[in-house]
Amino acid sequence: MVPARTFEDLRVGEVFRAPSRTLTDAHAAAFQTVSADNHPVHYDAKWARRHGHTAPVVHGLQVLAFTAPGATLFPALTVTDLRPQGDNGVVTTEATIHNQRGELVLSGQHTYLLRRR
C-alpha cells in the first residue's frame, strides 16, 4: 500500500507508475457486462482477426479506468501542474498507457482537486 499524499507532497515531474497487468478474457467479460458494450471486436477473436487485429481489442473505457488514481494510486501518471486554490490544490497529470508491444494506446490528462493541509 502506498501512503496517502497531500497536495504539498507532490512535485511537478513526479511519475507514478502502476505495475503491468495482463488483461484476460475474464476481465473483458466482466467489463462487457457492466458496460453493455457487446461489439464483437472486444470478445470474438475470429471477428477481430478478420478486421485486422491480432486478438480481441480491450475496451477503451476499461483502459482509461486503469489510469484512475484509485485503481492503483496514481498509475502511469506524470504530475504536470500544481496550482494552489484556496483550501485545495489543483493537480494536473498526464496519463499514458502502452500495450505489450510498447505501442501507445492511451494518452490524456487528468485534473484533480486535492485538499491542502
Annotated domain spans of the chain: 1-19+71-117, 22-65
Q: What are phi and psi of 48, to 5 degrees?
A: -60, -45
At which residue does the C-alpha cell 477503451 appear? 60
113 grid coordinates: 482537486
User: Counting every residue, how long is the chain?
Assistant: 117
68 torsion bin: left (phi>0), alpha (psi -120 to 50), beta (else):
beta
**Among 62-66, 80-84, 110-114, which range has the highest average pLDDT?**
80-84
Higher-pLDDT residue of 6 and 20 is 6
More confidently predicted of 78 and 2: 78
